Every structure is written in structure tokens, then in C-alpha cells.
Amino acid sequence: MDHFSTKPNNKGPKDYLVTAIHFQPQDDTQQPKLAVGQSDCILFVYRWAAQDDSSEELVWKGKKSIVNKFLESAAVVSIAWPPSTASQCVYALTNGKIKVGNLRSNKSHILYAIDSFTVSLAMNLSGTELISGHGDGSIYKFTFPTGSQESSCVKLCDSPQTPLLLVWCT
């Protein structure tokens, strides 16, 4: 088991919480990455130089370094990596905004925003659709644009409870 220290937003005190953590889907052409969302309104993306332990499994050892920082206006609460796009990371903020961060340009933009704080995210296996759960019990589905289809965002349902965890199966 390995561990590492996270960093505060602005070299300030360590009075924040790690609120979301998600490993990037792995392929053989890229170095492993880990997105870490924090209550001090930042998303850090770490890369590490994995050490070969002569096994088929990825080992969380080696030097960790921050490769991307996304400073935000609210705490990051959930993260989803599109499985087919290694250069983007989708994340949710407590203010209801769902954003996508471009790891190449280190810039982000809003996919959509809801008038209720976000608590959870899940992405389908193909990376073409995303669902988000919100504090008022609502669940929304966002469809990414394709060559012939524009993006769309629709409310799927209202739950009597807050959907703290969403999972997309199949």
C-alpha cells in the first residue's frame, strides 16, 4: 500500500477534505492518472511514474506529480472519466454545475448547470452519456454531442431521497 499527501488550493492551511477521487480508465499508451476533488474548490489531476513490479496489475507506487489544476468557485463533489477520451475529465460542483476539464489545455467549461447542488455523477461505458444526482432528488441525463447530434440535457426523474451514489450499468 502506498500513500501520498494532497495539497491545499493556495498553499493555505490543510483544512479541506478530499471529496472525490477517481482513477482514469487505463490503456497501454498513457501514464496512470488520478483525479482528486477537494472541498477547497479545486480539482487536481496527478500522474505517477508507475514502478514495474513484473506483474500484470497496475501498482500505485512511484513518484506522483500534479499535472492539472482546475480552480473552481465551489467544492468538487464527484468525478467521472470518459472511457474513450484520455484528455478530458468530467466533474461536478456543489453549486450544481457539471464541468469538463481539458487536460491538454488545462481549461474547463460548463456542460450544464442545475439549480440544486450536485451530489453524484455516473457515466455510461461508452462515454457518450452522463447522469447527475442533485440535492433536491432530481436526476439529469446529459448526452454528449456526436457528429450529427447536438448535446442535450433532460431531467430523468425526481427521487424522494437525495441520490448520493449513481452507477450506470450496461
Q: What is the pLDDT along the chain (170 residues), one digit of tens a residue?
A: 456 788 888 877 788 999 999 988 776 556 778 899 999 999 999 987 655 555 555 566 667 889 999 999 999 999 998 887 778 999 999 999 999 999 999 999 999 999 999 999 999 988 899 999 999 999 999 999 888 889 999 999 999 999 999 998 86
Find, among 166, 76, 86, 84, the residue nearest to 130 by Cα. 166
Give the residue ranges of DSSP H helices in 95-160. none
